[in-house]
Structure 1
Amino acid sequence: MIAAVAVLPVVLLTLLIGVRGVAAMRTTSDFLVASRRISPVLNSAAVSGEYLSAASFLGVAGMLVKDGVGALWYTVGFTAGYLAMLSLVAAPMRRSGALTVPGFAEARLASPALRRLTAVTVLVIGVLYLIPQFRTAGLVLSVVSGTPYWVGVVIAGAAVSVTLALGGMRAATYVQAFQFVLKLVLLVVPALWLVLTVGPAVRYEAVHPVQFTQFAKDTAVTFEVDVTLRLDRPTPVRGPDGVLHVYPPGELSMGSGEHVVFPAGAPVPHAGGGRLPGAPGWERPLLDLGGDGHPLLGTLAVLAATVLGTMGLPHVIMRFHTSPDGRAARRTAAITIGLLSVFYLIPGVYGTLGKVLVPQLYLSGATDTAVVALPSQVDTGWAGTTFTALLTAGAFAAFLATSLGLLLVVSGATAHDLMSGGLRTLRGTVLVTAAVVVLLALPAAPIDADVLVTWAFTVAAATFCPLLVLGIWWPRLTAPGAIAGVLTGLLTVSASILLALSGPRLDGWVAVLVARPAPWAVPLAFAVMIVVSLRGRPPSWSRAAMLRLHLGERAPLSPDRSPARSSAAACSSRPASDRSRWHGGRSSPPPPDAAAPGTARPRTLP
């Protein structure tokens, strides 16, 4: 109960900051990008707090327990993705002047259809990423307090939606920056305590893994989701009534919420078709999920999704629009890489200790809760309770920080890009979107957080990565090419996800590429975008628009650029809601906060 109470201060502080942000909320720009006045240090802390989600705080350690050391490739991909973003995307995106990714797409290519398509893509990525945040919040709270799964889901959804509806991006920035520091402290201190407390025997076993084949002591297991166990030998199990049953070899179904005890010496059943924790190959530095037999291909697939997907995550990209200029955006990305590198040193400690101390979570389908389950296995007194409470608070900070950014971009795509609404519409959309995601998260408990997050990264890699890279660096990109490429990436990844969820069981390299389609979906989207664009002709103002993305904010006009071309470049850098239509007539002056510093306002269309 103390651990559950520890969540309360985090939720209340989040709401308090949201209330304080009301005074700064006057325009759509205030709500979406905090009027572009966030400093690099504060912004990088907020980006790190937003980026370090449930998959980072809990998911990596849980994957390490279940799948082995190769799961650490996720942390490599999560961090390395910022190198690509720093070099290719950060500064040009800030110079574009757009408020959202769909706004950039239309401003660069003057296509309302492309804007609507990218807005739908934002919805897909955001929902896939939001569901595991709310899901893991429900699982963690149920583990530490015994509350039903839905309670944590509803608490997380309510706290995030109210905070964002009140304070917008400015409130989200301060919440996320504070919660990054909170998560770092609440993760590092318990990790040091665990390493010092467990003793030399546990530390030795952590780095010299032994397969989890039998229970060393009476072990209680509460199944958080429906699970079918495979029994290789007669297995004794004590049911809730205290009666010992011996089940013959075969399959044994356990329902969600069922509580049983495996006596000491009982053989460990298999769950989910994977290997037992600590099985041969657990310590190898490759990711062999489900024992598919292609660890190198699986590792490269995960890296392709996480590295390229980071470049296309809409809630991360929007962060660079809050920077005052392109130089500040680059500094934000560089500082973020350092902060992430420090953070990702820690989850490996929890994962290796979790394999020794709480391997039974593999059976219950709740390895994502290994971090918060560790302290009570080491100390049953006040110290274990205290550190469980601290880790629970840190976990909820992770859920809330990431959910704020994701809910912001999903609501922005709906209200700003699809509905063209104002501030009131944005606030209402936040509440409705949160309610929808809560409903979707309720049946999502059986799906691991890392699976859902990787799918979100894969959609981003196959859609926004080619759109941003080619839109920023290739002047021959056309609107039909961009639409074809984004649609190809969205449809292929979505079909692959549906096949992995409900299709027939696949084996070998086919199973790897269906479950993790980034290695083929991303090149296919790039190829389609390039081929279709080459069959058309880019608009006359495309090079001027490209220059606007790459010249400094206060760079003087070059001699070969006419005022008309200069106006086209400036106009192309603004979202559709802040500029006039591209075809016919005269343009109306944009609002003062729409133009980037030093940009001349267009008077006539080219």
Structure 2
Amino acid sequence: MNPAVAVVAVVVVSVATAVIGFYGLRISRTTGDFYVASRTVRPWWNASAIGGEYLSAASFLGVAGLVLLSGTDALWFPVGYTAGYLMLLLFVAAPLRRSGAYTIPDFTEARLDSRAVRRVTSLVVVVVGWLYIVPQLHGAALTIRITTGLPAWVGSLAVVIVVCLTVVAGGMRSITFVQAFQFWLKLTALAVPVLFIVFTLTGSGTAAVAPAAVNPTGMAPAGAYQNISLLVALLFGTLGLPHVLVRFYTNPDGSSARRTTLIVLGLLSVFYLFPTVYGLAGRMFAPELARSGQADAVVLLLPGHLIGGTAGDLLSALVVAGAFAAFLSTTSGLVVSLAGVISQDVLGGGVRGFRLAAVISAVVPLGFAVTTDSLALAGSVGLVFAFTASTVCPVLLLGIWWRGLTDTGAIAGMVTGAVLCGGAMVCGAVLGAGGIPFWLAQPAAWTVPAAFAVMVLVSRATKDRIPRTMPRVMTRLHTPERPLVTER
């Protein structure tokens, strides 16, 4: 595509994001506005914002790339991403909203009456957030390099600058407007080119499937273990994503949180149709992208490849704008959630502390992103889900639904999950994709049960540490509602 057109697309979406973010500054005044939008976000608006931040680089680019590479095996990703929200609806959304907390560490401290649990949870949340931001910056780097020819670091730096400006300007209330806009931009950016591609291929009478393109890479299908482990990571990992969970604190009440989740399920189901179509079309008509190592760029390159000309350039520009919106929206949500944790636990809270924490939250992963190479986007995000499923998810589920959880058990379970899953991730980075055993490449199938088991067993061994506040807290989690944590 024309590099100048791609640059214009990136600039337009960045400026639109900044303008909407600064609009949020006009109505962001209190600490509650910055942390949880004063708990006034309605279901449709909140669902659009959740879709904006949840549909990340892995969803916009990575799913299509995986479908191109491995066909139907890759469909576990959109299935798992969407089904994870069903688990949120069933087990987490309403009780978490009733907790009245600003952050996940707020919740664990109030539930277990322990500062030590809060500190460990805060550390885990920050690690999860930074691990998740890095693939977004890698995706921005890939997009800028492929479509404009500029150095890859320009894309990562541009995302961090725009995100810092919008988050510092208005916090959660500002980001809610931004992410809702970005979800509908992403959906449009995928849907419109797909329709043009379908009409073009139908009108030209192009054969539906070329025999040689059935398996363009020659990759062997994933085994049953890999698929099961991936599904465990995606289902349970969704329950522990800090930037998603903080969204439920912005609903007015628990019933609004449940309605928000139902709407999100519908929005995700529609969205994931389009990356799947891109991946299948790539297998049929552009298999050379897989063989040349550009699988993650299939969404960016396919409109120009199949349509060409001015129309192809314009459609490619729309896709680039949608991709950049994906990086911005997910990174914004992560930075907001991390800023809430860091500002309260390290910087003393308040609006000034939140703003400083937001800058720290964005700059640290930028350093990692510009000094590391991008992995397959969906695969790298899948490992983050596995880490989250092995750490944050157990303490949330057991904290909400099991009265026997203790602070010692919670800490032991989170540390176990972090060490096991983190160790598997480090081994994968050291050994490389070709040298790592399959059970380390997809560790969730054993790290998640291990974390739950340790948390339960240690809690049973330390029954005397069940907090005296447990009955009152559990009652508040499961009945209509009164804030558990006093707003700062």
TM-score range, shorter chain: over 0.9
Residue by residue over 1:437-494, the C-alpha shift from the partner in whole angstroms, topping out at 9 and shown as x without a partner, is 2221113334121122112111110111110111001111111111111111111111
Deviation at 1:433, TM superposition (A): 2.4
Give distance in 2, aligned partners of 1:432 and 1:308.
28
Residue by residue over 1:410-437, the C-alpha shift from the partner in whole angstroms, topping out at 9 and shown as x without a partner, is 2222222333332112111212322222
Aligned residue number for residue 157 of structure 1: 160
Does the C-alpha gap of structure 1 residues 412 and 364 become closer, same or farther in structure 2, counting only changes over 3 Å?
Answer: farther
Of residues 249, 252, 276, the one that matches 1:321 is 249
Task: Say if 2:65 and 2:298, in contact at 8 Å, map to a contact too.
Answer: yes
The structure that is strand-richer by fraction is: 1
Of residues 204, 207, 220, the one that matches 2:208 is 204
Does the C-alpha gap of structure 1 residues 322 and 203 become closer, same or farther in structure 2, counting only changes over 3 Å?
Answer: farther
Does the C-alpha gap of structure 1 residues 91 and 211 become closer, same or farther in structure 2, counting only changes over 3 Å?
Answer: closer
Task: Say if 2:135 and 2:374, in contact at 8 Å, map to a contact too.
Answer: no
Give distance in 1, aligned partners of 2:113 and 2:32.
21
Residue by residue over 1:380-414, the C-alpha shift from the partner in whole angstroms, topping out at 9 and shown as x without a partner, is 31111110111111111111111110111122222
Code of the residue aligned with 2:199 in structure 1: it is L
- Tell me the secondary structure at the aligned position of residue 21 of structure 1: helix
Aligned residue number for residue 187 of structure 1: 190
Aligned residue number for residue 361 of structure 1: 289
Of residues 373, 378, 384, the one that matches 2:312 is 384
TM-score scaled to structure 1, two decimals?
0.77
State the aligned residue count: 482
Deviation at 1:163, TM superposition (A): 0.6
Percent identity over the alignment?
44
The structure that is helix-richer by fraction is: 2
Aligned residue number for residue 521 of structure 1: 447
Code of the residue aligned with 1:375 in structure 2: it is P
Task: Say if 1:17 and 1:167, in contact at 8 Å, map to a contact too.
Answer: no
Aligned residue number for residue 443 of structure 1: 371
Task: Say if 2:215 and 2:283, in contact at 8 Å, map to a contact too.
Answer: no
Task: Say if 2:125 and 2:392, in contact at 8 Å, map to a contact too.
Answer: no
| 1:344 has 2:272 as partner | yes
Task: Say if 2:229 and 2:443, in contact at 8 Å, map to a contact too.
Answer: yes
Deviation at 1:48, TM superposition (A): 0.8
Aligned residue number for residue 59 of structure 2: 56
Deviation at 1:58, TM superposition (A): 0.8
Aligned residue number for residue 417 of structure 1: 345
Give distance in 2, aligned partners of 1:32 and 1:156.
21
Code of the residue aligned with 2:152 in structure 1: it is Y
Give distance in 2, aligned partners of 1:165 and 1:309.
28
Does the C-alpha gap of structure 1 residues 3 and 406 become closer, same or farther in structure 2, counting only changes over 3 Å?
Answer: same
Aligned residue number for residue 332 of structure 1: 260
Deviation at 1:504, TM superposition (A): 7.5
Deviation at 1:50, TM superposition (A): 1.0
Code of the residue aligned with 2:213 in structure 1: it is P
Give distance in 2, aligned partners of 1:210 and 1:310.
32
Task: Say if 1:51 and 1:402, in contact at 8 Å, map to a contact too.
Answer: yes
Of residues 68, 72, 75, the one that matches 2:71 is 68
Mark the structure with the bigger radius of gyration: 1
Aligned residue number for residue 545 of structure 1: 473
Of residues 460, 472, 477, the one that matches 1:534 is 460
Task: Say if 1:203 and 1:353, in contact at 8 Å, map to a contact too.
Answer: no
| 1:14 has 2:17 as partner | yes
Aligned residue number for residue 425 of structure 2: 497
Task: Say if 1:202 and 1:353, in contact at 8 Å, map to a contact too.
Answer: no
Aligned residue number for residue 407 of structure 1: 335
Aligned residue number for residue 78 of structure 1: 81
Q: Say which is worse superposed, 357-366 or 296-305, in terms of deviation.
A: 357-366
Of residues 140, 145, 158, the one that matches 2:143 is 140
Code of the residue aligned with 1:40 in structure 2: it is P
Q: Which runs of 5+ in 2 are unaligned?
A: none
Give distance in 2, aligned partners of 1:414 and 1:435.
13
Code of the residue aligned with 1:303 in structure 2: it is L
Give distance in 2, aligned partners of 1:299 and 1:171.
38
Does the C-alpha gap of structure 1 residues 201 and 61 become closer, same or farther in structure 2, counting only changes over 3 Å?
Answer: farther
Task: Say if 1:98 and 1:104, in contact at 8 Å, map to a contact too.
Answer: yes
Give distance in 1, aligned partners of 2:11 and 2:267.
27
